[in-house]
Structure 1
Amino acid sequence: MKTVADRKTLAELPDVMSVQQLGQFLGVHANGVYELVHQQSFPSVQIGRKFVIPKAGLVKWLETQAENKAVS
């Protein structure tokens, strides 16, 4: 079974990821992901003290970020 760090494409990611899983995939420290989940525009859900990131929301967010950068 592949770990999140072994997955190379968004299609290979689980439907819902933890902060640590997303950090491993993106190659950033979990602290960087925590900064993102505290932004109102970033798609995350807090369950108790834990944050999870839905893959579908992440894909839309990434597309929006890329579009905004292209327009700037």
Structure 2
Amino acid sequence: MRESTFTNYDQLPLFLNANTVAQTLGVSISSAYELMHEKGFPALRIGSRMVVPKEKFCQWVEDQLGGDA
């Protein structure tokens, strides 16, 4: 597993692309793309591009941790 390049949510951009999701979670970019296509993950499709709103991503992480983040 890769180490995250971010130390807190404030460092994240307003919208995350697959590369930023991968860097944040410490996973490969292919794993980030897989995650972004899963049902329940808050990705938005804008044309052929997929992005994740920062606030929805943070909430998704908290939900995965049981709301204790």
TM-score of the two chains, using structure 1 as the length reference: 0.76
| Corresponding residue of 2:25 | 26
Q: Which of structure 1's runs of 4+ aligned residues deviate more than 4 A?
A: none
Name whichever of 20-29 and 30-39 sits farther off: 20-29
Aligned partner of 2:10 in structure 1 is 11
**Matched pairs, number:** 65
More helix by share: 1
TM-score after normalising by structure 2: 0.79
Corresponding residue for residue 57 of structure 1: 56
- Could you tell me how far apart the structure 2 residues matched to 1:22 and 1:35 are? 11
Which amino acid in the other structure matches residue 53 of structure 1? V
Kindly provide the amino acid, as one letter, of the partner of residue 39 in structure 1: E
Listed as ranges, the gaps of 5+ residues in structure 1 are none
For the aligned residues, what is the CA RMSD? 2.0
Q: Which amino acid aligns with 1:24?
A: Q
Q: Give the structure with higher Rg (CA).
A: 1
